[in-house]
Amino acid sequence: MTDLERTESHDAGCAEDVEDDSATNADRNESIVDRAREIIPGGAQTGLRAQAYDTGDVAFESASGATLTTVAGEQYTDYHLGFGPIVLGHAHEDVDAAARAAIDDGVLYGAGTAPLEVEVAERLVDLLPSVEMVNFCNSGSEATYHAIRLARAATGNEKILKFEGCYHGWHDYVDVSVYPPVDRVGERYPESDGMLSAAVENTLVAPFNDPDTVEAIVRDHGDDLAAVILEPVPHSVGCLLPRTEFLETLREATAVHDVPLIFDEVISGFRHSPHGVQGEVDVTPDLTCVAKALGNGYPVAAVGGRSDLLAQAGGDNESGVVISGTYSGSLPGLAAARETVDTIVAEDIQAYLTDLGDRYREGLTDLLEDHGIDGRIVGHRSIFTVQFGVDGEPRDYEDVLGLDEERFRAFAAGMRERGHFFTPNPYKRHHLSAAHDESHLESYLDAADAVFTEL
C-alpha cells in the first residue's frame, strides 16, 4: 500500500468514526428525550421548559459562556439563558469557583447563621434602596409568596392588587391575568387549573401604566388591600416600560392608604442595575423580591424591604409570620450570589450589556424596515425581542394582544436552524450575558436577515 493509499484509508476511517459518533449522539439524544417523556410530564421539568425547547426534542449536555451544547453535539448561541438568570455567562469561572469553595465547608447548616448569609444580605441592603432587612429563599415564586404573606400579616387584609401581563410565580396568590385572552381582559383570569378560588377572588387586576385606574382602585379598596405587587418593568410580555406618572401615583396612593407596595424584581434585579429598577426610577417600594440574575443560575432568591415588615418573620413570638425553607441560605447559592453581585458592580456589567442590547435592537429594527415586515423591537438594556404584526411602543397588556404568534414561532425555528436558541413563546424575550460579544451580534443579525427573507 502506498503512502497515499494509507492516507486515504485513514481519512475514510476517521470519516466513518465521525459519522458513527454523530449517529450515536443523535440516537442517545432521542433515547433521553423518549425516556423523559415516559416519566416526566411533558418531557421537561416544567411546561414552560418543554415549550422553550419548541418540539421537546432536545437534551442539553453542557453550557459554557454564551454557548449551549446538546447531547447530539449541536451548538447554539444561547439567548434563553435559563429564562434570564445567566447574566455573566454559563459556567462563569469565578462564580463556580466560589460555589465549589463553599461546598468544601458544607452545603447546608440549617441552624443559626453563617458569614456568607450576612455578607450577601449586607450587599442587598447597600445596593437596593428599599431593603433594610433580608430573608433568603430559593426561587422568585417563593420570594413573592413570602412578600405577600408579610404584607397580609402587617395589614390584616387579604386582597392584593396586581397588573395584567405581570408574572409573579406559579402560586395561587398571583398566577392570575398574566396572559388573559382578549375576551377576558379586565377581569380575573386564573392561569392554571387547580387554583384555589378564594385566592383568585382576593386578587384584583388592573391595567399597567394607568395612573387614574390604580389610584381609584387603591382609594376604593384601601381598607381591604394587603398589598400591591408589580414588575416595575414587565418582561413577562416582552417589555412594558413604566410611565413615571404611573409609578409615582402608585407610590403616593399606597403610602396614603398604608398599603405595602411590592416590586417584583426577579427578572430586572441585578440584570438591569445593581440597584434594581427602583434605583433607576427613584421610586422606593416597601418590599422587593429578587432572584434569577442574583446568582448567575444558582438557586438563590430573597425578599427584602422595610425592617418592620421583615421583623415579623423573626420567630420571636407565637403570632409571628412563618417564613421557612429547609434549603434557604444554602451556602453554594449564597457564595454564587456574592461573587455575581461583586462582579456586576466591579466590572460595570450593565453598561456593557446596555450598549450591546441597544445594538441588537437597532440592528433588528433596521432589518424589519429593510424587509418591509410589520412588527416592532421591544426591550430594555440586556433584554429584547421581536413582536410581529404590531407597532408602536406597548404601554400595557392590551398593546401586546394581536401579535403574530405563528410568525414568531417560524422566526424562532429559523434562527434555531442557524444556531441561535431562544424560546419560541412569542410573549417572552431574549436575554444577553456578559459572555455575548460582537461576533454573536453579527452572527445573529446575519441569521435574522436570512430568516426575515424567508418570512
Tell me the catalytic residues: 167, 264, 292
- Going by C-alpha positions, the residue among 277, 261, 258, 260 that lies closest to residue 269 is 277
Looking at residue 451, the DSSP 8-state letter turns out to be H
Q: How far apart are the first and last CA of the chain?
A: 54
The answer to whether 203 touches 125, Cβ cutoff 8 Å, is: no
Distances in Å between the Cα of 346 and the Cα atoms of 85, 258, 339, 340 are 19, 37, 10, 10
- Going by C-alpha positions, the residue among 202, 203, 263 that lies closest to residue 230 is 263
- Neighbour order of strands in the sheet with 383-388: 375-380, 383-388, 430-431
C-alpha to C-alpha distance for 396 and 240, rounded to whole angstroms: 7
Residues in the chain: 455
DSSP run (H or E) holding 430 = strand 430-431
Q: What is the dihedral of CA 204, 209, 213, 218, to 10 degrees?
A: 60
**The C-alpha cell that represents 252 in the structure block:** 403616593
Q: Give residues with Cβ within 8 angstroms of 273, minimum separation 6.
A: 279, 280, 350
C-alpha to C-alpha distance for 8 and 372, rounded to whole angstroms: 51
- Going by C-alpha positions, the residue among 243, 246, 188, 185 that lies closest to residue 215 is 246
Q: Give residues with Cβ within 8 angstroms of 433, minimum separation 6.
A: 66, 81, 86, 87, 88, 89, 90, 353, 382
The answer to whether 271 touches 84, Cβ cutoff 8 Å, is: yes
φ, ψ for residue 176, nearest 5 deg? -130, 130
φ, ψ for residue 350, nearest 5 deg? -65, -35
Helix (H, G, I), strand (E, B) or coil at 289: strand
DSSP run (H or E) holding 134 = strand 133-137
C-alpha to C-alpha distance for 323 and 310, rounded to whole angstroms: 10
